[in-house]
């Protein structure tokens, strides 16, 4: 989805401040929220990590930007546990004593059956283009590289395709690649030209450049 989470390259944000001696968790509830996700994935086996990422992406954009990291994290966990029928929103609101914001529902995504090639389709040095598509569901191809040309640095490893796993669909293992893009290719106004961005992309996100 072309969601608020896909922040790469957006303008309008200010300075980035480093907090000295930052604790791992600032408040107790953050540690509990962190552990609750582990419970949901590993103990309850209610959902997988791709579904978790997508649940956070589905938050209302204004809530997403206003929330802290662990509030986003927690909203993803609570959303999935409600969607999977482990708890109900009504009981959560009754126990919390107020409104309990959750993420919006996922788009419907159709299962696809793919027989992955035995060999990686691309090799280091190959020129590729990221397919310029706008899937309604979960994907890990950031908007800022779609339609852009880059060079394969290395064929990495095969991992489950998140576009399927993020919707609890059977996901095949698919080759991933580290693809390098020149700043000038990504940003037409890039005056700074001694920069590149390397993005980790699944094979089906890519097409060869002839």
Partner 1 sequence: MTDSRKPEPDAPIAERVRALEEALDAKGLVPEGFLEKRAEQAQESFDPKNGARVVARAWLDPAFRARLLADGAAASAELGFRAANSEYLVVLENTDAVHNVIVCTQCSCTAWSVIGLPPDWYKSPAYRARVVREPRALLRGMGLDLPEQVAIRVWDTSGETRFMVLPQRPAGTEGWSEERLAGIVTREALIGVARVAGTDFMNA
Tell whether residue 63 is a contact of partner 1 (CB under 8 A): yes
> Which listed residue (140, 163, 204, 206) binds partner 1 by CB under 8 A?
140
Give the span between the Cα atoms of 172 and 167, in whole angstroms: 13
CA dihedral over 9, 11, 12, 14, signed as positive or negative? positive
Shortest CB 95 distance to partner 1, Å: 4
74 in Cβ contact with 102 (< 8 Å): no
Shortest CB 58 distance to partner 1, Å: 9
| Element at 93 (helix H, strand E) | helix 89-96
> Which listed residue (24, 85, 188, 210) binds partner 1 by CB under 8 A?
24
Tell whether residue 149 is a contact of partner 1 (CB under 8 A): no
Tell whether residue 31 is a contact of partner 1 (CB under 8 A): yes
What is the contact mask toward partner 1 in residues 175 to 194, using x (rule: CB under 8 A)?
A: -x-x-x-----xx----x-x
Give the span between the Cα atoms of 197 and 56, in whole angstroms: 25
Please compute Rg for the chain using Cα positions: 19
Site residues (CB under 8 A) for partner 1, limited to 32-61: 32-36, 38-39, 43-44, 53, 56-57, 59-60
């Amino acid at each position: 989805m072309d969601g608020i989470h896909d922040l790469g390259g957006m303008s309008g944000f200010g300075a980035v401040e480093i907090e000295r001696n930052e604790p791992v968790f600032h408040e107790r509830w953050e540690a509990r929220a962190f552990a609750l996700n582990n419970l949901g994935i590993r103990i309850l086996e209610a959902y997988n990590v791709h579904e978790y990422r997508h649940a956070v992406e589905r938050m209302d954009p204004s809530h997403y930007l206003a929330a802290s990291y662990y509030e986003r994290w927690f909203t993803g966990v609570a959303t999935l546990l409600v969607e999977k029928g482990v708890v109900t929103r009504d009981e959560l609101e009754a126990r919390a004593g107020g409104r309990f914001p959750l993420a919006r529902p996922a788009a419907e995504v159709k299962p696809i059956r793919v027989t992955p090639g035995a060999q990686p389709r691309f090799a280091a040095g190959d020129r590729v283009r990221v397919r310029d598509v706008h899937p309604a569901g979960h994907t890990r191809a950031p908007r800022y590289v779609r339609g852009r040309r880059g060079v394969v640095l290395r064929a990495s490893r095969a991992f489950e395709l998140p576009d399927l796993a993020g919707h609890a669909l059977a996901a095949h293992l698919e080759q991933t690649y580290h693809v390098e893009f020149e700043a000038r290719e990504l940003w037409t106004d890039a005056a700074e030209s001694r920069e590149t961005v390397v993005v980790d992309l699944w094979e089906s996100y890519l097409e060869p450049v002839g």
